[in-house]
Amino acid sequence: MHSVSSSLRLVSLAALLCVAGCPSTNSPDDAGRTADARAGDDAFLATDAPGLDAVVVGEDAPSLVDAFRPPGDCTPMRVSTDTCGPLCDGPDRWYWDGERCVSITCGGCRGEDCALGVLSESECASAHATCVPELCRSTGGEWLFWAEECRHYRCGVPQPAECLVGMPVCDCGVGRVFSDGVGCVAEGTCPDPLPSAEALCTATGGTWADTCCHSRCGVPCALACTSPACTCGPTQIFDESRGCIEAAECHDGRTEGQGCSPEGRVRCATGLLCCQTCGGAGCFGEPTCRTPTCDPTGRLDLCGNDPLAP
């Protein structure tokens, strides 16, 4: 069973895709914000970690009133980056965006919560140690910010369920589960993994061939040998216990010119925007990570597009 209803997902995707499909990828209200910051807000809205439960359908379904809990200290801070402001007029500070700590450099902060920033990532992480995303990571799990699941992974695999709203979840890996308020813990009832690397590779959609070493995030092995290995998908790595799995490293931190997704499933490194080339005739080409364009005339948007171009 799928974790998100198809009708709601289509509505959500239609709204998100307009970010890249419209002549300007940054509205006036969104100017100066990195794609990372926007993705962090989206992740908060979908997750039960800071205060929003997945609404599960069935006998265990909570009421809609119970689903919305007070977010508390895990609420994303209301800040954005003043991309085109002064070169440097203050110290770098770290802010909680709902699922991780992000930096705003040189005092270039805008928003109601700029004064809440701290001077180090470790201080920010410590202040939000009880938030589910940070609790997942600090106990050895991987926070799947792009996921649209109903429940956290169990024993390294997603759990079948139906829910009205999907959410990012924690993957604690083989032999472990996520425990509320504790993090990733060992679970004795987890099944044993498949016995061979080849079986794991092919069972999870990979290709087993003499490629010397496993692919990583779609990049084939560069070594010259004939040892058998697994080639997984573009956002996957090969895990010795689970086969081809989605990995945060393949979804995050894309550099200048690399592909990205406007809805934040594949996001750019801090300071870069996920942009599409657009003009008066519309947009074309795949979105890529770009350095923001600061045009003093105000004609170009932050992606360097001229909405009035023919």
Count of beta carbons in the 10 Å neighbourhood of residue 294: 12
Please count the structural domains in the chain.
1
- Whether residue 271 lies inside any domain: the answer is yes
Q: pTM (2 decimals)?
A: 0.66
- Whether residue 201 lies inside any domain: the answer is no
Residues 296-309 pLDDT 10s: 888 899 999 987 77
Q: What pLDDT shows up at residue 53?
A: 40
pLDDT at 7 over 80: no
Q: How far is CA 82 from CA 15, 115, 191, 225, in A?
A: 25, 15, 50, 49
- Whether residue 92 lies inside any domain: the answer is yes
State how beta strands 282-290 and 273-279 pair: antiparallel
- Whether residue 206 lies inside any domain: the answer is no
Residues 251-302 pLDDT 10s: 999 999 999 998 889 999 988 999 999 877 788 889 999 999 998 888 899 9
- Whether residue 79 lies inside any domain: the answer is yes
SS3 of the chain: helix, strand, coil, percent, to 5: 20, 25, 55
The region, left, alpha or beta by phi > 0 then psi within -120 to 50, assigned to residue 279 is beta
Quote the tokens at residue 36: 């990372």
How far is C-alpha 303 from the chain's CA centre? 21
Element (H, E) at 126: helix 121-127
- Average pLDDT on 195-205 reads 91
- Whether residue 109 lies inside any domain: the answer is yes
Query: Cα 250–251–253 angle (5° rounding)?
Result: 90
Q: Residue 283's beta-bridge partner residues?
A: 278
Can you tell me which residue has the tokens 């890529």?
A: 288
Residues 10-46 pLDDT 10s: 333 333 333 333 333 333 333 333 333 333 333 333 3
Which structural domain, as residue segments, surrounds residue 177?
A: 6-189+251-290
Give the span between the Cα atoms of 293 and 227, in whole angstroms: 46
Residues 66-114 pLDDT 10s: 333 333 489 999 999 888 877 788 899 999 999 999 999 888 999 999 9
- Whether residue 1 lies inside any domain: the answer is no
- Whether residue 196 lies inside any domain: the answer is no
